[in-house]
C-alpha cells in the first residue's frame, strides 16, 4: 500500500528550508557555506531525511559528509558565537549555540568483530556510510550543497520502502551483527504504522537469540527509547507477539491489560509518563526475584530498578490491600515504604478493584494527610521531645486519616488523653 502525504524528491529541499528557522537554520547555512567553500558535499542523512519524506514535523537534523567535520563546526561556532565539541570515537562533531544544536558526522564504514560487539569504524565514503545502517528507510542521503545539491542517494530503495510502509534490513546478517536492531525494527514499525518486511521478519525471528549478545546498557537504551514513544504499548504488544520480551528475559511479558494501563497512565498525567512509570507497570507482572534479575540484565539505573522491583514487591501487598477492614492509616504506613512510581503503577493496573481504590486514594489524598498540631504546639501542651513526640505526631496523623480527629480541638483533646495516660502511644518509649 502506498502511503499518503509523501514528499516528492524535488520538493524535499524547499520543505527542509521551510522547516528550518532560528538558530538551527543559521547554523545549517553557515555550515553549508563553509562546505561549499571547501568544495565538498554535505548531506541530510538518517532519521531526519526519513521524517522529511514522511512529512513529519519536528525532525532531527543530522548532517553527514566525507572527511573531517571539524572545520565546518569551527566556522559555525565562530559565526554564531557557539561552541563545538568533537566525539573522536564516533567521528562526530556537535556545534551548540543558545538555541540550536547540530550534529555533523563523518561518513564511516563499520565492521563487527563478533555479534553484538560495538563495531570497528573507519572513515569511508557516503555510500559505505549508508550501507552500515539498520534499515533501508534510514539509509538515504540528500545532498544539500555543491553541484550535487538536491540529489538523493537511495541505494537500497528506502524511498520505495517508505512509500510501501516497510521496515527492511540491508542484508541477511543485520540482526546478527547488532540485535538491538530487533527492538529498533519494532519501534519504527509501530511508530509509523509500517510493517516489518516479510524476509526481514523471518531474519528477525531466526536471529532473536542474538539479543543475548547485547550488553545490558545497550538493551536498556533501546527499550527505554521504545518506552519513550507516543504509544509504547503498541511496540510492547508486538514485542510480546514476536517473543522479543521473552528473549530478553523469560519472565518479561506484556498483555492487553497492561496496554490499557499504559493508556490510562497517559490520560492521568499532564505530561507524557516517564519511562520509569512504564517500567513499574512492567514490574506488576513480575515476581521480585525475576524483577531483580531483569534489572541486572538491563543494567537499570537506581530509579529504574526501584520502579521495576518496587512494583513487583508491591504485588504481594495486594490481597491485604483489598480487605475491607483495613484503615487508611494502616494503608499509608505500609505504602510509604514503597517507591511512589510502584504505587502509581499499581493504582493504574488495579484501578477497578478494592485494592486499586485504596491506592488511588493514597495517591490523591491520604499521603498528604498531616495533623494540625506541630512539634512546637505539642511541646506547649507538655509533650516531651524525643520518641514520645514522634509517636504522638504519628498518632495524630492516624487519627486524622481514620476520621477520629477532624479538627485542631479534637487533636488537642487526644494529646491530653495521651498525657493523662488514657491513650497509649505505639512506638514511644516508656518513661518519656
Ligand atoms: P529517532 O527517529 O527515534 O530519533 P533515528 O532514526 O534518528 O531515531 P538514531 O537512533 O538517532 O535514529 O540513529 C540515527 C541513525 O543512525 C539512524 O537513522 C540509523 O541510520 C543509524 N543507526 C542508529 N542505530 C543503528 C544501529 N543499531 N545499526 C545501524 N544503524 C543505526
Confidence band of 3 (pLDDT split at 50, 70, 90): low
CA of 138 to the centre of ligand 1 (A): 7
The DSSP H or E segment spanning 233 is helix 232-242
Atom 18, ligand 1: which residue's CA is nearest? 46
- Assigned C-alpha cell, 60: 532531527
CA of 133 to the centre of ligand 1 (A): 8
Higher-confidence residue: 2 or 248? 248
Confidence band of 432 (pLDDT split at 50, 70, 90): very low
Question: Is pLDDT at 7 greater than 80 in this prediction?
Answer: no
- DSSP track, 259-299: HHHHHHHHHH-SSPPPHHHHHHHHHTTS-HHHHHHHHHHTT
Span 352-363, pLDDT tens digits: 899 999 999 999
Question: Is pLDDT at 146 greater than 90 in this prediction?
Answer: no
Is the distance from CB of 346 to CB of 322 less than 8 angstroms? no
Atom of ligand 1 nearest to the CA of 180: 27
Instruction: Return all residues near 78 (Cβ < 8 A) that are at least 6 apart.
Output: none
**Strands 100-106, 62-65: parallel, antiparallel or unpaired by DSSP?**
parallel
Mean pLDDT score, 138-157:
94
Atom of ligand 1 nearest to the CA of 60: 7
Residue labelled with grid coordinates 536498556: 220
Atom 9, ligand 1: which residue's CA is nearest? 47
- DSSP track, 106-149: E-EEEE-SSTTSPPEEEE--HHHHHHTSSBGGG--EEE-SSTTT
**C-alpha span between 23 and 80 (Å, rounded):** 8
Q: How confident is the model at residue 23, as a pLDDT?
A: 84
User: Which of 29-43, 75-89, 233-247, 289-303 comes out lowest in average pLDDT?
Assistant: 75-89
Q: What is the mean pLDDT of the chain?
A: 93
Mean pLDDT score, 237-261:
98
Span 43-97, pLDDT tens digits: 999 999 999 999 887 667 899 999 999 999 998 899 888 999 998 878 899 999 8
Q: How confident is the model at residue 245, as a pLDDT?
A: 98
The DSSP H or E segment spanning 86 is strand 83-87
Question: Is pLDDT at 225 greater than 90 in this prediction?
Answer: yes
Q: Vertex 65, ends 125 and 50: CA angle to 5°?
A: 100
**C-alpha span between 42 and 106 (Å, rounded):** 10
Higher-confidence residue: 4 or 56? 56
Confidence band of 34 (pLDDT split at 50, 70, 90): very high
CA of 124 to the centre of ligand 1 (A): 18
Pocket-testing residue among 45, 47, 192, ligand 1, by greatest number of atoms within 8 A of Cβ:
47
**C-alpha span between 219 and 86 (Å, rounded):** 26
CA of 426 to the centre of ligand 1 (A): 58
Question: Is pLDDT at 426 greater than 90 in this prediction?
Answer: no
CA of 244 to the centre of ligand 1 (A): 19
138, 145, 242, 323 from 142: Cα distances, Å: 12, 9, 34, 63
Span 375-421, pLDDT tens digits: 999 999 999 888 889 999 999 999 999 999 989 999 999 999 999 98
**C-alpha span between 173 and 167 (Å, rounded):** 15
CA of 274 to the centre of ligand 1 (A): 22
Residue labelled with grid coordinates 510509604: 336
**C-alpha span between 338 and 336 (Å, rounded):** 6
Cα torsion through 370, 375, 377, 381, rounded to 10? 120
Q: How confident is the model at residue 429, as a pLDDT?
A: 55
Residue labelled with grid coordinates 519501534: 187
Question: Is pLDDT at 431 greater than 70 in this prediction?
Answer: no
Atom 4, ligand 1: which residue's CA is nearest? 47
**C-alpha span between 185 and 257 (Å, rounded):** 24
**C-alpha span between 400 and 404 (Å, rounded):** 6
- Assigned C-alpha cell, 143: 545532498
Atom 8, ligand 1: which residue's CA is nearest? 47
**C-alpha span between 27 and 100 (Å, rounded):** 8
**C-alpha span between 339 and 306 (Å, rounded):** 7
- Assigned C-alpha cell, 24: 538551527
Mean pLDDT score, 293-306:
98
Q: Vertex 382, ends 378 and 384: CA angle to 5°?
A: 80
- Cβ < 6 Å from ligand 1: which residues? 46-47, 60, 133-134, 138, 178, 180-181
Amino acid at each position: 500500500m502506498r502511503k499518503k502525504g509523501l514528499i516528492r524528491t524535488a520538493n524535499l529541499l524547499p520543505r527542509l528550508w521551510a522547516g528550518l528557522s532560528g538558530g538551527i537554520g543559521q547554523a545549517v547555512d553557515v555550515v553549508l557555506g563553509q562546505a561549499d567553500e571547501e568544495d565538498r558535499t554535505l548531506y541530510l542523512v538518517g532519521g531526519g531525511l526519513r521524517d522529511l519524506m514522511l512529512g513529519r514535523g519536528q525532525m532531527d537534523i543530522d548532517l553527514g559528509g566525507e572527511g573531517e567535520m571539524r572545520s565546518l563546526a569551527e566556522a559555525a561556532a565562530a559565526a554564531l558565537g557557539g561552541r563545538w565539541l568533537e566525539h573522536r570515537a564516533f567521528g562526530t562533531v556537535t556545534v551548540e549555540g543558545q538555541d540550536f544544536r547540530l550534529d555533523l558526522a563523518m561518513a564511516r564504514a563499520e565492521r563487527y568483530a563478533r555479534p553484538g560487539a560495538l563495531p570497528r569504524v573507519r572513515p569511508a565514503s557516503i555510500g559505505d556510510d549508508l550501507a552500515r545502517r539498520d534499515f533501508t528507510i534510514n539509509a538515504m542521503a540528500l545532498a544539500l550543497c555543491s553541484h550535487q545539491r538536491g540529489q538523493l542517494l537511495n541505494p537500497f530503495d528506502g524511498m520505495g520502502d517508505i512509500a510501501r510502509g516497510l521496515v527492511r534490513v540491508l542484508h541477511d546478517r543485520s540482526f546478527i551483527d547488532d540485535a538491538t536492531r530487533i527492538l529498533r525494527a519494532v519501534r519504527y514499525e509501530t511508530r509509523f504504522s509500517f510493517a516489518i518486511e516479510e524476509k526481514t521478519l523471518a531474519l528477525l525471528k531466526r536471529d532473536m537469540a542474538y539479543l543475548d549478545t547485547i550488553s545490558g546498557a545497550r538493551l536498556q537504551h533501546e527499550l527505554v527509547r521504545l518506552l519513550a514513544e507516543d504509544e509504547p504499548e503498541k511496540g510492547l504488544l508486538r514485542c510480546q507477539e514476536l517473543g522479543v520480551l521473552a528473549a530478553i528475559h523469560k519472565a518479561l511479558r506484556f498483555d492487553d491489560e497492561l496496554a490499557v494501563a499504559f493508556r490510562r497512565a497517559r490520560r492521568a498525567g499532564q505530561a507524557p509518563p516517564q519511562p520509569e512509570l512504564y517500567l513499574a507497570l512492567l514490574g506488576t507482572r513480575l515476581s521480585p526475584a525475576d524483577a531483580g534479575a531483569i534489572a541486572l540484565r538491563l543494567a537499570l539505573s537506581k530509579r529504574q530498578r526501584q520502579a521495576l522491583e518496587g512494583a513487583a514487591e508491591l504485588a504481594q501487598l495486594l490481597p491485604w490491600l483489598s480487605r475491607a477492614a483495613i484503615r487508611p492509616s494502616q494503608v499509608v504506613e505500609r505504602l510509604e515504604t514503597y517507591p511512589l512510581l510502584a504505587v502509581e503503577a499499581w493504582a493504574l493496573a488495579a484501578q477497578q478493584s478494592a485494592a486499586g481504590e485504596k491506592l488511588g486514594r493514597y495517591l490523591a489524598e491520604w499521603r498528604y494527610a498531616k495533623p494540625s498540631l506541630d512539634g512546637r504546639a505539642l511541646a506547649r501542651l507538655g509533650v516531651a521531645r524525643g520518641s514520645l513526640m514522634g509517636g504522638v505526631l504519628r498518632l495524630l496523623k492516624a487519627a486524622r486519616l481514620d476520621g477520629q480527629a477532624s479538627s485542631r480541638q479534637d487533636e488537642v483533646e487526644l494529646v491530653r488523653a495521651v498525657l493523662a495516660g488514657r491513650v497509649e502511644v505505639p512506638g514511644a518509649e516508656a518513661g518519656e
